[in-house]
Amino acid sequence: MKSKPLDILILSTNAELYSTKRLKESAEKRGHVAKVMNHTRCYALMETGHNEIFFKDHAVSNVDAVIPRIGASVTFYGSSIIRQFEMKKVFTTTGSLALVRSRDKLRATQILARHGIGIPKTVFARNPDDVDSLIAQVGGAPLIVKLLEGTQGLGVVLAETKKAARSVIEAFYGLNANILVQEFIAEANGADLRCIVVDGKVVAAYRRQGLEGEFRSNLHRGGIGSPVRLKKAEREMAIKATKALGLSIAGVDMLQSNRGPLILEVNSSPGLEGVEKATGIDVAGAIIEYIERQLLLPRKKSATDQVGA
C-alpha cells in the first residue's frame, strides 16, 4: 500500500445511486478517501501548456484516480472531462476514447467484428430501397431492430414477420433515426449473460431471464437475475471483447447460441446492483483493488492506453 490513502474521485451525477454508493463505500473500507463529483457541473480550462479542471469556482486537484460513471445522455461532455484528467496524467478506470468507442453501437459492432469476436449478424443502412435485401441479409424474420441511441432495452423492437420488419424499419427511417437490424437468436429463449470484466478477468457473471413473452432480458424491463458458471469460451469472449474496445472495466452482455457465445453489447459503465445482488460478489471492491494494483505496482500498458478505431 501507499504511505498515504489514495484520493479517489467518482464522477457521477447522483451520489445516491447504488453503484456510486458502493464504490465510495468500498474505497473508504480499504482506507482511501473517496469523493463523488457531478461531472456535468465541472468545466475544463485550457491554455498554452496547461490544462485544468474546475468544479464551481475551485480547481480540482490532488486526485490519484478517477472512476467515471458517465450516463449515456452525457457521453460527449463526460468523455471531455475524463480526457482533461488524462491530460493531467491522472489515472482513470475508463479512458475517454474507450468510453466514446463503446457508446457508439455501430462503431463497437464494427470493432468486435474486425477482431473476430462472435456477434449476431448485423446490418446498418440508410436507404429504404434496401429494406428487403437488408432483411434477407440477417436471415429474414423474426429479427431485431435497434436504435443506435437506445439504452436499457429501450428502442429495441422484435419484428416477428417480414411484413412487420419492413414496417418497423421504414417507420424508423421516416423518423430519420439511425438503426441496426440484427438476426434474432431464438435458442437464447429471452435470456442473456451479463459478465463483469475488471482488469482482464471476469469477476462476476449472472444470467438475466426476461419475463414470459418478453424477448428483452434487462432487469430494468422486469428481467430476473441468477448466478451462473461461465464456460471457458464465454469467459474468453467477454475478456476479448472488453480488450477490443480498449476498456479495463466493462459489463459484457452475450447470448448463448448454437454457434457459441455472441456479444450483444459492451457497457463501459455497468451497473453494480444487479450483479452484486444476484451473485453476492463484491464487484465494487474488485474495482478498487484494480486501482490499487495500477497505482502501487510498476505501470504496464493497459487497455485504456491502446490506440484504436
The whole-number pLDDT of residue 308 equals 46
Contacts of residue 177, defined as CB under 8 A and 6 or more positions apart, other chains included, come to: 147, 148
The whole-number pLDDT of residue 65 equals 98
pLDDT digits (tens, 9 = 90+) for 162-218: 999 999 998 888 888 888 999 999 998 889 999 999 999 999 999 998 666 555 545
Residue 303 predicted with pLDDT over 90: no
Residue 26 predicted with pLDDT over 80: yes
Q: Hey, how many other C-beta atoms are within 10 angstroms of the C-beta on 289?
A: 16
Contact at 8 Å (CB) between 45 and 298? no
pLDDT digits (tens, 9 = 90+) for 249-263: 999 999 999 999 999
- Going by pLDDT thresholds of 50, 70 and 90, the confidence category of residue 230 is very high
The whole-number pLDDT of residue 209 equals 86
Domains of the chain in start order, with CATH, are 7-96 (3.40.50.20), 102-117+187-294 (3.30.470.20), 122-184 (3.30.1490.20)
The whole-number pLDDT of residue 173 equals 87
Residue 222 predicted with pLDDT over 60: no
Residue 13 predicted with pLDDT over 50: yes
| Burial status of residue 47 (CB atoms within 10 A of its CB: 0-12, 13-18, 19 or more) | exposed
Q: Output 154 or 268, whichever has higher pLDDT.
A: 268
SS (H, E, C) the chain: CCCCCCEEEEECCCCCCHHHHHHHHHHHHCCCEEEEECHHHEEEEEECCEEEEEECCEECCCCCEEEECCCHHHHHHHHHHHHHHHHCCCEECCCHHHHHHHHCHHHHHHHHHHCCCCCCCEECCCCHHHHHHHHHHCCCCCEEEEECCCCCCCCEEEECCHHHHHHHHHHHHHCCCCEEEEECCHHHCCEEEEEEEECCEEEEEEEEECCCCCCCCCHHHCCEEEECCCCHHHHHHHHHHHHHCCCCEEEEEEEEECCEEEEEEEECCCCCHHHHHHHCCCHHHHHHHHHHHHHHCCCCCCHHHCCCC
